[in-house]
Structure 1
Amino acid sequence: MIGRMIEQARKHPALIPQFAFLIIGMGGAFLYLVRLAKGPHVSWNHKGNPEPWNQVSPTYQYKFVAIETDYKNLKKEGPDF
């Protein structure tokens, strides 16, 4: 597949930016999936830590972009389990 892309780019140089944006987009999507897989709501170790979201501090910013919420001033709203 990569060889075919290089062959097409040599024949049609105008396709080079399209291939570059395609590769950058695929790389960004992969990195975003890796970031989501490491979040506090994902449990990869069901025997050692079945509920990792209970150990997250209330000041942990779990959203990618928090426009109105200031996570530094939040207080915990529930009991410890």
Structure 2
Amino acid sequence: MIKTVFQHAKKHPGLIPQFFFTFLGMTGAALYLIRLAKGPHVTWNKTNNPEPWNKLSPSYQYKFVAINTDYKNLKKEGPDF
């Protein structure tokens, strides 16, 4: 498949940006899926830690971007389980 892409790029140099941005988009999507798979709400080992979100502190910043929220001043609003 890679060989075919290089052959097309040699014959039609105008396709090089299309190949580049397609590869960039696919790489970005894969990295985003990996990031989501490592989040605090994902459980990969249900026998040792079935609810990993209960171990997070109330000041844990789980959002990628928190513009108006200061997580350091948050108080815990629920009971410990």
CA positional deviation for 1:4: 1.2
What TM-score do the two structures reach when normalised by structure 2?
A: 0.93
CA distance in 1, matches of 2:71, 2:11: 53
5 Å matches for 1:25-64? 25-64=25-64
Gaps of 5+ in 1: none
Give the structure 2 partner of residue 68 of structure 1.
68
- Deviation readout 1:31-53 (Å, 9 max, x if unpaired): 11111100000000000000000
Per the alignment, residue 20 of structure 1 pairs with: 20
TM-score by structure 1 length?
0.93
Superposition misfits of 4+ residues, deviation over 3 angstroms: none
Q: How far did residue 69 of structure 1 move?
A: 1.3
Quick one: which amino acid aligns to residue 44 of structure 2? Answer: W
Q: Secondary structure at the match of 1:63?
A: coil
Identity score, percent: 72
| Unpaired runs of at least 5, structure 2 | none
- Cα distance in 2 for partners of 1:32, 1:45 equals 21
The number of aligned residues is 81
Between the aligned partners of 2:62 and 2:55, the Cα distance in structure 1 is 13
